[in-house]
């Protein structure tokens, strides 16, 4: 069954977050934004079309990069404090974004709802990446696209093992972020065909949070076994 808005919001309340970390988020990323991330965001987000869901929209650093005239823009963010900051940001031209508090593992939308799902720096943080991938796939239309930008585990002989050792420490520094997730293979194992469009090792981020990859993932019909299909009770699901 698709979760109701109320169920998703109750689950969002369990996702770690605080007023302080929400306030420190943009200062923490300031240098990275100025020296590279902003350009990557622009490239990734400008590719969206139709009816769009952004997962883990945070404080809204992607908002300025949306093209005008989308059919719909839903900004999903579980953290109450970040969602509050998000609500203060200017909307893209020609669309009134809907802000929904939900975790990626429990999206309160019917199957096959969106043309595009987009996320930046979120699959590194979600509690259950596989469940989140399944939810993204479920809410995407069969010909929809999932656009992403993530830092991932290095395959380098030194950095990769260092990231494994640093995982717990980095999680404490960076608000629950895992520095050693193999996100592209995870998506491929969970029903997506993935095209990596950019990858960069040298980036103004601490080495544990490199490399950065961006790409387009498309659902593969019938693989893996589709999650249980269902509908939310009338009036509860966001449609
Ligand atoms: C590193 S921040 C990225 C924020 C924003 N996407 C950006 O690029 O600036 C990670 C975001 O993931 C959100 N998050 C954490 N757990 C989540 C979950 N289970 N489902 C969806 N989002 C989650 C956090 O609240 C936070 O906004």
pLDDT tens for each residue of 172-212: 999 999 999 999 999 999 999 999 999 987 776 788 999 99
Cα–Cα distance, 204 to 197 (Å, whole number)? 19
Residue 17 predicted with pLDDT over 70? yes
* Confidence (pLDDT) at 231: 39
Closest approach atom of ligand 1 to CA 29: 9
> Quick one: which of 86, 135, 80, 83 has its CA closest to 112?
135
E-strand ranges in the chain read 51-55, 72-76, 98-100, 114-120, 140-151, 192-200, 212-219
Question: How many Å lie between the centroid of ligand 1 and the Cα of residue 105?
Answer: 12
Cα–Cα distance, 168 to 176 (Å, whole number)? 9
pLDDT tens for each residue of 123-167: 999 999 999 999 999 999 999 999 999 999 999 999 999 999 999
Q: For residue 148, what are the β-bridge partners?
A: 119, 215
* Whether residue 56 has its Cβ less than 6 Å from ligand 1: yes
* Whether residue 22 has its Cβ less than 6 Å from ligand 1: no
Architecture of the domain made up of 5-219: 3-Layer(aba) Sandwich (3.40)
């Amino acid at each position: 069954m698709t979760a109701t808005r109320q169920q998703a919001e109750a689950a969002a309340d369990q996702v770690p977050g605080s007023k302080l970390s929400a306030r420190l988020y943009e200062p923490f990323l300031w240098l990275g934004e100025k020296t590279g991330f902003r350009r990557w965001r622009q490239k990734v987000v400008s590719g969206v079309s139709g009816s769009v869901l952004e997962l883990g929209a945070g404080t809204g650093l992607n908002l300025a990069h949306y093209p005008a005239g989308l059919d719909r823009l839903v900004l999903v963010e579980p953290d109450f404090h970040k969602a509050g900051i998000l609500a203060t940001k200017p909307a893209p031209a020609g669309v009134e974004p809907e802000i929904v508090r939900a975790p990626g593992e429990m999206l309160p939308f019917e199957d096959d709802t969106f043309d595009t799902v987009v996320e930046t720096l979120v699959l590194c943080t979600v509690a259950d990446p596989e469940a989140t991938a399944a939810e993204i796939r479920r809410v995407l239309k069969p010909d929809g696209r999932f656009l992403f930008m993530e830092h991932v585990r290095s395959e380098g002989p030194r950095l990769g093992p260092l990231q494994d050792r640093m995982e717990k420490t980095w999680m404490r520094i960076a608000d629950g972020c895992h520095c050693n997730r193999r996100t592209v293979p995870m998506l491929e194992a969970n029903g997506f065909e993935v095209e990596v469009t950019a990858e960069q090792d040298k980036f103004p981020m601490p080495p544990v949070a490199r490399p950065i990859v961006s790409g387009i993932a498309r659902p593969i019909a019938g693989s893996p076994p589709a999650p249980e299909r269902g509908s939310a009770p009338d009036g509860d699901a966001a449609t």
